Chain A
């Protein structure tokens, strides 16, 4: 056979904005996902038919496309338009992920034991009851919860606090996984990683691309939904036992839930916005839309809102994202300056002729640990700041492809 695709390619329809007619298709092969137009889809179908039947390539192509073409033309078209990773002679590389570091904590097989049992929780009446209960219980206790949070917890309660938070993260990720299972969509593992500079827990739901926009939104909200149930239980426990620790846990979970709705990083808010709007690869498209604005300003290239209606969302999103990144960069710069002053102040307290004397003196005066802590924060702020500056640079950097496209 002169041309062959991987055997496990799956094709399904894909709805995206700007394509009211159903002429977009999802091609899935292991962890790879592509949205393709009808001609690419039929080309792939003709190759699959060719592999699985006794027809020649020319016959298979005619069967699926109703067009005549020579074998060489079909091969050329396939090489030109089908992603090379789908060809059998190309080894599928490991899944690309957004993490600097990542490790699987709970594998797919283990999770499927739980996720199957939890799917009944995605009942619309139960969802409604949970939301109403969350608003009434958490809302009525919020003042007390926030007041308790200012008091903090004793050192002895810290291990329990950490365990409670780890359980909360696990419940959150299990919510995403169970939502996938609810729609009979295969799911991946739960793990821990470093995203940009954030330590994160994650659930791999890459196969969820095959679901409808609404179902994907449910997967996105599954984590918050499960955490809502947890927070109701914690609030009730805190109320009846007057547990300071429970109030602090409730407050911290509330904060993480709000934090994950941030749409500018790839947290739940990002995926929710992407799925509700139907705009895929939101970050890439944000970069492209910013470049379009730049070309509009510099060269007068029209933005064509009528042709590309996604710009109505992408433009304000991109502008807000830029403002957000600039705000955070400014905030980090201020913190870095302040931390630098703290270090200078701590160092000025060092007395003694030798380094060892200085360290002994600092240890005795209990200034060594605060200095180390301040230095650690300084390093962290430098890392954060460098990331943000790089991020802003990437948004503004010249894109050669778009440059060529606009000329």
Chain B
């Protein structure tokens, strides 16, 4: 059976609704705009928010890159790419610089983004205050009243318990000095990249039915305290075992037998590009 899908899977009404929400999200940086979130052929919580944003954006001229935890070839990325390619016929690329739309789960690529690119982030839990307030109506009120003491208190408790802020990923940020925003579970290492970025960054949460945005050149500050400033993960004295890169986000790989730890670039296309460059040179 050959089913003819619409271009970019969606009917035009669904795209219109997402487009309206996206334009409002850009006008109010960091504010979560509710949207209808259609049923998708992948399960909610597996990137449907990002996927819906990408489908509302994509055109025949686009070149798409999808990454999952830094990898172009993991299951989530491959399946999302397949769906988009099957319903649009556009080309895909692994190279960050060549893509016009980059959909990503949990990373901002190491290669700096350009002005004409759009980064779409998949978000599981868009509400930075959900950790201590389960009610959606209450968190909406807290955002409305600019009442973020709970967010700071959460970080303060971590300092009391562990002597440092212990957010592994999804460290909350303040956008345009107004809204506290969950940056999707990107590592702290990527938080500074949100600040004054060249590219438009769109965030979509399919299960939670929210779209939000960080326009280019927008002030994004990670929450911290004067005496406990925000710190990114450090990889001091370590480098990628394949390409030798320093100052990038590294994965720690443990050898089961020897117990030895080695490090490798988390962004696989960045690593590959460096290695290809080396072999050419």
Instruction: Check if A and B associate.
Output: no
- Report which B residues bind A (CB closer than 8 A): none
- Report which A residues bind B (CB closer than 8 A): none
